[in-house]
Structure formats: C-alpha cells, structure tokens
Structure 1
Amino acid sequence: MRIVLTSPAMGVGGAERVVALLVAELAARGHEVALIAPPGMRDAEIAAVPHLRLPLTDEGRGPRGAAQATWELARAIRRLAPDVVHAQNVKSGAAAAIAARLARPDAPPPVLATFHGVLPDEYRTAARLLRLPRHVACVSSDLRDQITAAGLAAERTSVIRNAVDVVPPLTAARRAALDEELGLPAEAPVVAIVGRLVPQKAHGRFLAAARLVLQREPSTRFLVVGDGPLRERLERQVKADGLTGRVLMLGARDDARDLIARADLVVFSSEWEGLSIAALESLAAGTPVVSTDVQGMRELLAGGAGAIVALDDGRALGERVGELLAAPDERAAMGREGVALIAREFSLDGMVSAYEERYRALTA
C-alpha cells in the first residue's frame, strides 16, 4: 500500500514520536511510505528507514501558514497518488482532507486523522474541522467520548491507542554516568517531568509540588526534561523560589528515556492530555507515573500503574509524590503493573496493525 503520512512538525512532541514509529514500522512491513512534514529532530530517528521524505514549509499556525501547507500537500498528493493519507491532529487532518480534494477532485484518497486532544474549550471547533477527514482515530476512549459529545459522528471515529517500542533496561554504568553528569547525590530521590515547556503542561504546578516535597525530603532532585517557549520564565521562577541545584532544567534531550528510567517517579502536572508518549515510556521502563486528573491519564492509570491526583495548585501532586517517595514497595508494585500494562495493551505491533486495518477499511 502507498501511504502518505503528514505532520505539522517533527520536533520533540509525542505525536511526532508516533509518526516516526509509524514510518519505520510501516516501511518494515513492506508499504511504500512518504512523510510530508517540516524538518525536525525526529528525522534522525528514521534517517536509515527507506521512505520518501518531502519537506513542508513551516509558515506558522495562522491562515497564511495553513493555506501554504495545504497547497504544498495538494501538490505532493497529486504527485504521489497515495492509497491513503494519514494526518496528525485537528488542523493537519483538515488541511490534508482539503489537499486531497484539491489534488484529485474526482477521486480524492481517503484521509485518516489521528486525534491527540485539544484544550477543553476547543472541542466544538475541533469536531467541526474533523468532519473533513474520512475517519478519526482517537488515541484514548476519553478523547473519543469528548469529541463525539462535541458533535463528531461516533461512526466516523475509532480508538487506536498510542504505543511505544521497548528498550533495554538502564545499565548500572549508564546510571552512574547520568548521576555524574547531573550531579545527583547518591541515594537521592529523583522526580522527572518530561514534555514541552508550554502552558498545557503546567510546569508551575510541578514547581509548587516540588517545594512541598523538598520540605519533607530536602535531598530530592527534580529533572525538567524538554524545551519550549516558557523555558526562560520557568528558569526565572526556579531561581526566585530558591530551587537552583534541586530543580535541574535539562532542555530537550535525546536520552530522555534514560532519564525516565533513572527517575523514581515521573510526574505530569498537565491541564489536559491525550495519551502521553512520555507516560507510556515511563510505564515501559517500570517508572511509576503521578498525574493530575485529566483525560487520557485517568484512563491509562486506572489499573494501578500510577496515581491520579486532584487538579489543584500543586498541593495534591506534592503530597502524593512525597508519599510515594517514602513507599518503595508501593512504587515497585506500580512499576511492575506499568511494564505489564504496556506489554498487554500498548504494544507497538498492536498499534501499527490497528492502523493497517483502518487503512484497508478506508480503501476497500
């Protein structure tokens, strides 16, 4: 099958990670794969994978940028004549659907959009835009419930959960090297947050929780892994709160999965989530997750692979993190459940097979 994948970015986000995994796995299964997206750091992950890579101009998210991207997509679709086009999230899905009609007005290829979530007040707009693709795959049941409640026809949706590949456990030598690089004291508890530094992730809540934990366990170290527009503001807040040296702003790292495995807990302080790739990577590593009570995460952790706390000013998050740092047996049990959950329900093979089945249904 000839498959075009398109994404508005190939940076550090979870959706971009899913795209890179799909490129590699679909090519390995014998499909002709083309990726149309702006250049980004995820390209390095698929550099050795046989696929056609076409750049997409990144003109921003305004009307001009959307129009430019749509025309470029239309030209590429006309040239490639794919069997199916697979886009990521709302605007990219709508643009791909319009581009498919522009490219081949008489017989446009079917467009599948994967829905990773939007802000709570954006669901009605998202539902209208997602009427343009032929089908919408939601990454969690929570998201499907919300987008259909907002007006998208349920029969045009399905649930295909994100997945992660399994990597070898962190070795003692690698752990020691990380400790030396980061200056982590021996036996100090380590708590990580992994994600873009954007309002959605609510890092201010994470820092409030860190202050509470440090009152209880002053040796704790907090790793902030990721980059984004709020970095300078967060660095100023860390300094103003007297957290320098205990909260480490690490930026975007290509060894984020090692840092996840090194941590005792991974925290999500988010205002909303879809189905976080970083959370799946944490569970796969056996690192328990503590998250605010938001869609996607609530569903993911319901079986005991982590803890859900109230969406407040950070007090509930700090209290639960402190409790778990003092309870190694409970953390170990959560870690075992996380590893089993990934193997049982979030395997990479299962995700790719589900998308293949959807492609076949759309082209039948």
Structure 2
Amino acid sequence: MIAARLVCVTRRFWPLVGGAERFMGEFAVEAQRQGRSTTLLTARWEPSWPSSLTYREVPVIRLPQFRARFVGTLVYMAALRRWLRRHQSTYDLVFVSLLKHDAVAAHWAVKGRRPLVLIAEGSGSTGDCAWQEQAVLGMWIRRICYRADAVIAPSREIQEELLQAGYPPQKIHYLPHGVKIPPERTPERRYQARQSLAALHPRFHLQPDEKLAVFVGRLHLGKGLRELVEAWKLVVQRCPNLRLWLVGEGPMETELLRQIEAAKLHSRVVLTGSFDDVGEILQAADLFVFPSHREGMSLALLEAMAAGLPIVATDIPGNRALVQNDESALLVPVDSPKELAGAVARLAENRELAERLAQRARFVAVMHFSLEETVRRHLELFDQIYTQFMKNVQIG
C-alpha cells in the first residue's frame, strides 16, 4: 500500500525559516514531485499573514495562534487537532517536525485513525531531547511522542539521544536530511547571483574585487555567532576585501547588531534577514562559515557542500558526520575566534586549497545527500508504516 496523501506539520515556516523548516518545505515539494499529494500545516504567527498560500505548488494552511506564548501554543494545538480531525478523509499519514507541542496535538487527532511519523531535530542542549527534559510538561510530551508509529533521526547523534531518552528502538529510523543539488558554480553564475541580490537591496551590493563569506542558520547562542563576529576583526586585518553575511533570523539579532557596531564592522558584516531559498546567496558566495557549538544534521552545511563552497566549520560530531578536516573542509575548535579567523583567511588566500575542499564536499553531497534520494527513502518508510497500520486496522 502507498501513503499517497501526506500532511506535513511544522509550526514555524516561511518567512520564519531555519534548517528544520526549510527541510520540511523542500520535503513537501519533492514528495509532491514524486507523485504524493502533500499539504503543509503551520502556524499563523502574524494576523496580517494570509491564512493560506501555495509554496511551489504545495498548499500551505496557516492555523490560528495568539502572540501570548502559553495561550498561543494552546490555541495552535487546538487548531491543529481540529483541522486534522475534520480533514481525516483527505490524508493517509501525518509527518510532524520536532518532538514538541505539534506532535501532541497530532497524536490526539489521529491516534488509531492514521499513522503518525515524527522527525527529531537538533542535538545536545539545543535538541528536542534536551528540550523535553527542560520544558514545562516536557517529559509528558515525551511519553506521548513514544506512541508515534515512527521517529526519524537525521543523524547518528540524534539517534543515540533518542535511545537514551527511552524511545522504543524499533520505532527509531536513521534517515539523514538531503538537499537539492544545484548546478556547478561558475564565474558567470556567481556574477549573475550577485547582480540579482544587489537589485534586491543596496546593502547586498558587492564590489567586483570583494569576496563573500556567508553563514546560514538561526541567529541564536548555540550557533557560535559571537565568536564569528569576534573572529572577523582578525579576518579583515589579513583579508580587507572579505565580507561576511549572516543569513537568518533569531533572538540574537539585536545583540549581534550591537557587537558589529562596537567592533566597527558595520561595513564588513551584514545581517541579511531570512530567505526561504538560499541558493542564490550560496552561488554569490566564495566560502561558507559554520561555527556552531552543537549540531545534529545541519541542512545549512549540506547546502553549502552541495553548492561546492569551501567550508570552515567547528570540529563537532554533527559536522564531522558530513565533512572531514583538510579533506572536504577546514575544522576548528569550538569557541576559538583566533583559529576560526585563521582558517577563514587561509581559504580566502589559498585558491588551490579552497577548490580542492569544495570539490570533495560537493562530491559527498551529490553521492550521499541528494534531496531526491532522501525523500525516496522517507516515502519508502511511510509506505511500510501505512501498510502495517492498515493491516492492523483490518485485523482489529
């Protein structure tokens, strides 16, 4: 049997985009391309936002929620449960991002009626398992998540955390994230991408002789952005024509703006805001910087690999699962601005090294982490779960 009709649930979605949200959006689009009917449910964070839209041919439904934190969550959970109940005849399986409130509401709505698959995101102190241990009612939410038909772990580190948290081993499935593989980078595509970005806003204009480093991700403490801005004071001393764009949104935005201003880097470091598709930014860039303290399976890092960018990243398990030091990236210790700056300058100055690392990183992405193959493996799992679910229903 085929789970032909899918509902994907992610509380945050465009224009609020991080790695988890972008993966769910790309998954929905690719699943639809592979012949599945897909609907995406999310929260309506601002009253002015439309209650529905189409994201690259995938219908997106924004469900009500209030600004107040606790009340807003309850309103969203009730709306999600209500929608799933009312539209039960229109889908075969529900796929939920994060082991949080969305998972609880989805379980209440579909238990015994439709299969439920969850995907865990993040690891360590910023991961779902840690959140369940720290949040109010977090352990209660964990016990409900145990009841899902399957829980997907995008990385081995997340898989181990799920096991340690008591999730049934037979329900845990290791399935890495995947990304679209763009055309190979060329000087022409780099030039065209820079022209397109400059047309969006004057702050995106780059001089012909300027090089561009980018970070993509949520602007929060665990991403190592304080250290990155600190490192950039050293970078510009060696590479005065190298600029840095921090692409994303998050709670550290105001703090980073103050740090950039205090360091007199306002002409060197730009906070671009969020983009639902960072492909053009990666085409315009010359290198990628990823100084996270902890990661599960980083979609941003995978996208940089697929784009064929030379990479400087922190030497942490989640990053080492994707890139190897001096083979497909330069890896530096966590919380070390000096070594981070040295690695960035080294890549900016050594074109041969940068090209060698970039080519290897792209090869790994193409061979092991393409979105098409990733979604195909997820859909195979969904079909197995749906088939077993329907057999159990018939027996019952």
TM-score interval, normalised by the smaller of the two chains: 0.7 to 0.9
Shift of 1:7: 0.7
Q: Residue 94 of structure 2 aligns with which residue?
A: 85
Q: Residue 47 of structure 1 aligns with which residue?
A: 55
**Aligned partner of residue 320 in structure 2, secondary structure:** helix
Unmatched segments (≥5 aa) in structure 2: 134-138, 389-396
Unmatched segments (≥5 aa) in structure 1: 102-106
CA distance in 2, matches of 1:312, 1:36: 37
**Normalization by structure 2: what TM-score?**
0.81
Moved over 6 A (4+): none
Which of 42, 65, 72 aligns to 2:79? It is 72
Matched, 1:325 2:325: no
Matched, 1:100 2:110: yes
CA distance in 2, matches of 1:353, 1:255: 22
Which of 119, 144, 150 aligns to 2:159? It is 144
Change (3 A) 1:176 1:79: closer
Shift of 1:124: 5.2
Shift of 1:275: 1.9
Question: Deviation digits for residues 99-119 of structure 1, max 9, x if unmatched?
Answer: 323xxxxx2322111111144
CA distance in 1, matches of 2:225, 2:351: 25
Q: Residue 227 of structure 1 aligns with which residue?
A: 249
Q: Residue 7 of structure 1 aligns with which residue?
A: 10
**Aligned partner of residue 255 in structure 2, secondary structure:** helix
Shift of 1:274: 2.3
**Aligned partner of residue 65 in structure 2, secondary structure:** coil
Matches within 5 A, 1:260-279: 260-279=282-301
Which of 249, 255, 258 aligns to 2:271? It is 249
Question: Deviation digits for residues 277-330 of structure 1, max 9, x if unmatched?
Answer: 221211111102211233421211138321221112422212221222222111
Shift of 1:254: 5.4
Q: Which has the higher contact order (CA 8 A, sep 6+)?
A: 2
Matched, 1:346 2:361: no
Contact 2:125 2:131 in 1 (8 A): no
Contact 1:261 1:282 in 2 (8 A): no
Identity %: 25
CA distance in 2, matches of 1:50, 1:233: 36
Matches within 5 A, 1:103-118: 107-118=112-123
**Aligned partner of residue 357 in structure 1, secondary structure:** helix
Query: Considering only aligned residues, what root-mean-square deviation do their CA atoms show, in Å?
Result: 2.7
Question: Which residue type is aligned with residue 57 of structure 2?
Answer: V
Q: How many residues align?
A: 357
Shift of 1:262: 2.3
**Normalization by structure 1: what TM-score?**
0.88
CA distance in 2, matches of 1:279, 1:44: 30
Q: Residue 22 of structure 1 aligns with which residue?
A: 27
Q: Residue 229 of structure 2 aligns with which residue?
A: 207
Contact 2:98 2:119 in 1 (8 A): yes
Change (3 A) 1:61 1:89: farther
Contact 2:66 2:72 in 1 (8 A): yes
Change (3 A) 1:233 1:113: same
